[in-house]
């Protein structure tokens, strides 16, 4: 069958567009039969992925970063006849800045190797999450993490992963705080929070392991919530958020990591929120999370 490659030219601040000839050569060298569609505006990837499925293309290939993958998943879901239908297969050409989903899945960053995986067509059933009416592949959050994103998109003078770090320090210095009520399968919490981060994958933002024990194949959402009352406490927590294993920030007092199949979050004061690194609201108070186990057919080695 013919694959549909959906290129997000804006990924990695337009570097994805510049790298397309390299990606095209890799696909052709691997013998992948494909047609190309190029996103032209925010949300267009969702439309293109939906259209590609309805037209019978398979697999769908997201050429971009984490936001591109997330939008492609939403397009696949919109093309499905029911919420029980399997989605995909979906492949990835890593052209983003952080490429967190690629890292979490153990996929290669070099394009020739990525094209070979697409050609082989092996897939595994991966979980996907949903918040309100949006699906996500890697993670979603309210509180500090999307607050950092609002800073990151304003930084024009720094590129790459360093931009995420500068944005994180900028956000922390403003000491944001929310009052939340969080409920899940077998627990609840009410009180102040600095962050509420829900993950299907462990890494986000290129260097941060915001949900270090998340597993996109375990049929559960993993989430972290907690509160840091001072700038110093938040700043000293930051380097521990870069540790995936022992010494992670989830081991510090006042930070909690849980697993659940559903999570409901109510915030007394609105927060920005994101899915897969893309802001979908600048001020939201209610978020309803659920997991769809093994629903996405992800092309893997």
Could you tell me if 27 and 59 lie in one domain? yes
The confidence score (pLDDT) of residue 156 equals 76
Domain span at 261: 139-292
Confirm whether 78 is domain-assigned: yes
Q: What is the pLDDT of residue 162?
A: 82
- pTM value? 0.94
Do 152 and 288 fall within a single domain? yes
Structure tokens at 209: 């392991």
In CATH, what number is assigned to the domain containing residue 97? 3.40.50.10330
Tell which of 90, 121, 152 closes a domain.
121
Domain count of the chain?
A: 2
Comparing CA positions, the residue from 261, 190, 202 lying closest to residue 227 is: 190
Same domain, 147 and 277: yes
Q: Please check whether residue 144 lies inside any domain of the structure.
A: yes
DSSP state of 242: G
27 Cα distance to chain centroid = 24
Can you give the pLDDT at residue 166? 87
Look at residue 158 in the predicted model and tell me its pLDDT: 79
Q: Where are the alpha helices (DSSP H) in 31-159?
A: 44-54, 66-79, 100-105, 111-120, 144-152
In this structure, what CATH number is given to the domain that contains residue 260?
2.60.200.40
Is residue 272 within 8 Å of residue 104, measured between CB atoms? no
Whether residues 64 and 208 fall in one domain: no
Residue 180 near residue 266 (C-beta atoms within 8 A) = yes
> How confident is the model at residue 82, as a pLDDT?
94
- Whether 93 is in a domain gets the answer yes
Is the CB of residue 114 less than 8 Å from the CB of residue 92? yes
**What is the structure's pLDDT at 153?**
79
Of 254, 249, 251, 245, give the one whose Cα is nearest residue 235: 249
| Gap between the terminal Cα atoms of the chain | 19
| Residue 235 counted as domain residue | yes
Cβ pair 50, 259 in contact under 8 A: no
Contact at 8 Å (CB) between 7 and 38? yes
Looking at residue 37, its pLDDT comes to 98
The answer on 155 and 102 residing in a single domain is no
| 3-class DSSP state of 6 | strand
pLDDT means per 10 residues, the chain with 301 residues, are: 96 93 98 98 96 98 97 98 96 95 97 98 98 97 93 79 84 93 97 96 90 97 96 90 92 95 98 95 97 98 94
Which one of 94, 121, 148 terminates a domain? 121
- The answer to whether position 129 is within a domain reads no
Would you state the pLDDT for residue 24? Answer: 98
Q: Which of 294, 300, 163, 161 is nearest to 218 (CA)?
A: 294
């Amino acid at each position: 069958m013919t694959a549909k490659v959906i290129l997000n030219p804006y990924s990695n601040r337009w570097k994805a567009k510049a790298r397309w000839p390299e990606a095209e050569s890799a696909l052709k060298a691997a013998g992948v039969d494909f047609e190309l569609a190029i996103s032209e505006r925010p949300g267009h990837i969702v439309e293109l992925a939906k259209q590609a499925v309805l037209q019978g293309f398979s697999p769908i290939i997201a050429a971009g970063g984490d936001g591109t993958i997330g939008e492609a998943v939403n397009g696949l879901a919109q093309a499905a006849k029911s919420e029980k239908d399997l989605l995909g297969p979906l492949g990835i050409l890593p052209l983003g800045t952080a490429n967190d989903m690629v890292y979490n899945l153990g996929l290669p960053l070099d394009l020739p190797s990525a094209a070979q995986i697409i050609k082989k067509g092996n897939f595994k059933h991966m979980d996907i999450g949903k918040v309100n009416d949006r699906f996500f592949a890697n993670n979603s959050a309210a509180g500090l993490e999307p607050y950092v994103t609002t800073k990151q998109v304003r930084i024009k003078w720094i590129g790459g992963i360093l931009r995420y770090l500068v944005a994180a320090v900028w956000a922390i210095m403003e000491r944001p705080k929310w009052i939340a009520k969080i409920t899940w399968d077998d627990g609840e919490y009410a009180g102040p929070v600095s962050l509420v981060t829900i993950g299907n994958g462990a890494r986000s933002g290129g260097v941060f392991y915001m949900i270090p024990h998340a597993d996109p194949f375990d049929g559960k959402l993993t989430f972290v919530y907690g509160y840091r009352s001072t700038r110093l406490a938040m700043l000293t927590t930051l380097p521990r958020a870069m540790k995936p294993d022992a010494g992670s920030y989830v081991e510090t007092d006042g930070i909690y990591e849980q697993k659940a199949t559903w999570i409901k979050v109510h915030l007394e004061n609105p927060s920005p929120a994101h899915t897969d690194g893309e802001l979908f609201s600048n001020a939201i108070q209610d978020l309803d999370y659920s997991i769809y186990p093994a629903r996405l057919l992800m092309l893997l080695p």
